[in-house]
Amino acid sequence: MNYKKICVIGLGYIGLPTASTFAMQDLDVLGVDINPSIIATLNRGEIHIHEPGLREIFNTAIQAGKFRAATSPEEADAFIIAVPTPFRDHQFGEYQGKQFKLADMTAVISAAESILPVLREGNLVILESTSPPRTTVDLLAPILERSGLKAGIDFHLCYSPERVLPGQILRELIENARVIGGITPESAQAGFDLYSVFVKGKIIKTDSTTAEMVKLMENTYRDVNIAIANEFSRLAEKFSVDVWEAISIANLHPRVKILSPGPGVGGHCISVDPWFFVETAPEITPLIYQSRQVNDSQPAFVVRMVQRALGDLNGKQIAALGLAYKPDVDDLRESPAVEVVHLLQSQGARVLAWEPFKPDAKLPGVSMANSLEETLQNADAVLLLVSHTEFKKIEPDQISGKTRARIAIDTVNGWDSKSWQDAGFKIVKIGVGK
């Protein structure tokens, strides 16, 4: 198929880089988002998210007249849906007394309905949003067929999940393997033709439900492996072992690769996707369910660490370094660091957080500092929650004169224990017994 104009619905961490990458290939791209502030920002030639290299290619696309933004779709050759699929607020599923989170597909439904007035014969519609299995055939297709056109016959329909890492999105969009799941082989080929415009990695064609499952499997695999690392950190503390030393030794085995423990699992992938399996098949996913329980409870484990180091937390001032869900990005979605802050505050602690990648973040109940120095001032303890590169470079003698704190709590193994101890600090690390 020959594509000249595409419409990308949802201009967040995936949609905007995808739209900009297509525009760099000389396609006319209309970016759609229901947030008028985002539309105004983009049409001024500015961007609203942090991603290395994005500003440069976005500016090139704008200057070439290949990208513009609007609040509703227009006729196009292809439509890409890249909207969020968060959890439902205060709604849970239940199976044999166990509660599990449910996917909120409202944004996907709204995006599909917005396409209806402009959907034409021969068009291609692609869902990129991470979704429970069979979403494409059971949810998306029936909505689009309200246009009077038949999915897989009059228009092509595919599922093609994003599989990129924040901080490396632009490179991985191009270089990573791409999965195209069509509801028919012809739809899969149409999707193949579109992504071939810029994808240099292998493009695999399959059916839509397989493609949905592939995305969920990838992140569930990682979640389960992180869960065992987090559980090892708890065991190490119980048995007075240094989990970091134990992991490094265990990983010398040629068939063992234990991941690193931490304050939990966040982001809009690993902490979310496994629940989609549990939601659709709770009777056969006990391992996935339990892994989610372990990782979701890790912030509470961190708070117990802090309590052991400081005693009663009521009135204690804590400098929290990092709120992002992973190092060197500005993405705070489902961040375990934010949950740690909330839990500390529920115990009476006063927490002042510094997030250098998003200093203007506005989070309910979270007090934000304007600088590292402000965070450290008057702190009783320094709590490292995210291994941002700049945080790992902090030397204790650099901050000893800027804070009264002499307790450092490291949840990500970012600091050298001996250096901090030599500087007069008591350092407490996750997964390190007494």
Query: Based on the number of CB atoms within 10 Å of its own CB, is 2 exposed (0-12), middle (13-18) or buried (19 or more)?
Result: exposed
Q: What are the CA-CA distances from residue 5 to residues 60, 80, 131, 347 (Å)?
A: 17, 11, 26, 54
Cα separation of the two ends of the chain: 64
Give the separation between CA 269 and CA 249, rounded to whole angstroms.
30
Q: Which residue among 101, 215, 316, 429 is the active-site one? A: 215
The dihedrals phi and psi of 388, each to the nearest 5 degrees, come to: -55, 145
Report the C-alpha gap between 175 and 198 in whole angstroms: 9
Burial environment of residue 392 by CB neighbours within 10 A (0 to 12, 13 to 18, 19 or more): middle
DSSP string covering 294-320, please?
HHHTHHHHHHHHHHHHHS--TT-EEEE
Report the relative pairing of strands 317-321 and 156-159 from DSSP bridges.
unpaired
Whether 158 is catalytic is no
Q: Which of the residues 101, 269, 316, 429 is marked catalytic? A: 269
Q: Position of tokens 């970091």?
A: 244
| Known catalytic residue at 215 | yes
- Least Cα distance to 237 among 312, 309, 337 occurs for 309
Q: Is 367 helix (H, G, I), strand (E, B) or coil?
A: strand
CB of 119 closer than 8 Å to CB of 147? yes
Provide the CB-side half-sphere exposure for 358 (13 A, CA): 22
Q: Identify the DSSP state of 134.
A: T
> What are the residues whose beta carbons fall under 8 Å from the beta carbon of 185, sequence distance 6 or more?
205
Containing H/E element for 56? Answer: helix 54-63
Q: Whose structure tokens read 């030599």?
A: 422
- Residues labelled as active-site residues: 215, 269
